[in-house]
């Protein structure tokens, strides 16, 4: 795989401001009940005002630096590189406070909620990392916090449930539908409708109604901006040949892609779970306030996603990702559970790093692409290691025991 000229949309940046309609090409928008339209408009106006305010940006940057541990480093993986025959670099979001990239977004949204005069945060979570980060930000800022989590996910991520409770959050198990991330989003949206006056919905990914996909991407843009500068320093002024990230809703991928999409020839690859691959197996539709690529049947009914990873167990993807795929600026591929487990162990064995199962999807694709020759020998690959695997160790242990 080699870099190629970057396609440019007419009239502006590839990952720029979608404007008041919140449209990324034919995707995005604001498909919400009439009762939520004022809340979305209020949030968009508040975000535009805050994002243009140097004092807000400075406070966010200071918290992410002194409290969150930014900038996170780029790590060269010498032993893994030697084994694969390609040069592997990791953007270490697993080293941020709470163990993933999620803190970048929730601190931003928490500060924004406080600026709007709201004192209560609600959130959805799958793998629990967004829930932990939201509970952390709420504790830091002195806010109430309620986290909705599918009942299935509360069992496979029991440790993160306890972490949220230790941080003072109330975790509400969702028992409807598939009892996973999709259903947690449904319940959080219902709760927001019921209590919008003093509650902010801290959505965790680049999905949902406008302005969320754009706002969350901008809060996560720090990943790509840091990585671009770090790679240029490490690579003698050059960019990596390929930037790879996992994608469920897709916030970590959007964050790192934002540093490279507009003025770099680096190839962009997002890796979905094979059982939830909206862009490799889905079709356009509307869900959770957005138009995007979704897993659905011929009647338009949403299909259940299946993944070893709770954080990628979602039947859609953020609308800007659907647009990037339509433009041809990013590729969307899938990794199966077996390959992900193998990649989890490989990174641990060669580099002493336990990746989150979500992040292991990105590693799995790099392993397969290097073996097949899709990544030529000597290619430089930057992987966004979006989270650490402590939360997944018990699950991985049980899965590996089941293999034997």
Active-site positions? 77, 101
Could you tell me the CA-to-CA distances from 370 to 3, 166, 182 in Å, in that order?
A: 15, 42, 33
Residues 302 and 288: their CA atoms lie apart, in Å, by 11
Enumerate the H helices of 151-281 as residue ranges.
Answer: 151-156, 158-166, 181-194, 212-234, 251-257, 278-281
Q: In the β-sheet with 330-335, what is the strand arrangement from edge to edge?
A: 74-76, 87-92, 380-385, 242-246, 267-273, 330-335
The DSSP secondary-structure symbol of 100 reads: B
Give the number of other CB atoms < 10 A from CB of residue 176: 12
- 118-143 burial code (b ≥16 CB/10 A, e <16): beebbbbbbbbbbbbbbbbbbebbeb
Angle at Cα 208 formed by Cα 315 and Cα 25, nearest 5°?
Answer: 90
Provide the token pair at 160. 């993160």
d(CA 315, CA 30): 19
CB atoms within 10 A of CB 34: 6
Query: What are residue 23's DSSP bridge partners?
Result: 28
As a whole number of angstroms, the distance between CA 180 and CA 306 comes to 10
CA distances to 56, 76, 224, 266, 382 from 228, rounded to whole Å, are: 24, 15, 6, 10, 10
Task: Identify the bridge partners of residue 355 per DSSP, sorted by sequence position.
Answer: 388
Spatial neighbors of 279 by CB under 8 A, at least 6 apart, are 270, 272, 293, 317, 321, 322, 325, 332
């Amino acid at each position: 795989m080699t870099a190629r000229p970057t396609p440019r949309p007419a009239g502006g940046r590839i990952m720029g401001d979608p404007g008041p309609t919140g449209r990324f090409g034919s995707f995005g928008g604001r498909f919400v009940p009439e009762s939520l339209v004022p809340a979305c408009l209020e949030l968009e106006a508040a975000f535009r005002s805050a994002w243009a305010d140097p004092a807000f940006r400075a406070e966010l940057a200071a918290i992410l630096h002194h409290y969150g541990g930014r900038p996170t480093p780029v790590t060269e993986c010498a032993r893994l590189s030697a084994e694969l025959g390609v040069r592997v670099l990791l953007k270490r979001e697993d080293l941020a406070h709470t163990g993933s990239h999620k803190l970048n977004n929730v601190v931003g949204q928490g500060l924004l909620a406080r600026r709007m005069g709201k004192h209560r945060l609600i959130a959805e979570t799958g793998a629990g990392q967004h829930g932990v980060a939201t509970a952390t930000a709420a504790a830091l800022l002195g806010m109430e916090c309620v986290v909705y989590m599918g009942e299935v996910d509360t069992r496979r991520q029991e440790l993160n449930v306890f972490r949220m409770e230790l941080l003072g959050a109330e975790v509400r198990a969702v028992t409807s539908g598939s009892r996973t991330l999709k259903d947690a989003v449904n319940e959080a949206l219902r709760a927001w409708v019921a209590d919008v006056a003093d509650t902010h919905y801290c959505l965790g990914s680049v999905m949902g109604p406008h302005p969320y996909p754009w706002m969350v991407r901008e809060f996560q843009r720090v990943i790509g901006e840091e990585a671009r500068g770090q790679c240029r320093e490490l690579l003698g002024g050059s960019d990596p040949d390929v930037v790879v990230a996992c994608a469920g809703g897709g916030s970590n991928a959007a964050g790192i892609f934002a540093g490279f999409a507009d003025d770099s020839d680096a190839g962009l690859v997002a890796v979905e779970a094979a059982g939830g691959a909206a862009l490799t197996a889905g079709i356009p539709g509307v869900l959770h306030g957005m138009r995007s690529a979704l897993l659905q049947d011929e009647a338009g009914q949403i299909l259940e996603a299946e993944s070893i990873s709770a954080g990628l167990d979602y039947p859609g993807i953020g609308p800007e990702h659907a647009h990037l795929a339509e433009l041809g600026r990013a590729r969307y591929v899938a990794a199966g559970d077996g390959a992900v487990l193998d990649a989890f162990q490989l990174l641990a064995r060669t580099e002493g790093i336990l990746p989150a199962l979500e992040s292991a999807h990105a590693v799995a694709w790099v392993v397969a692409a290097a073996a097949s020759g899709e990544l030529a020998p000597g290619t430089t690959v930057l992987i966004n290691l979006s989270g650490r695997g402590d939360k997944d160790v018990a699950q991985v242990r049980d899965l590996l025991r089941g293999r034997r």
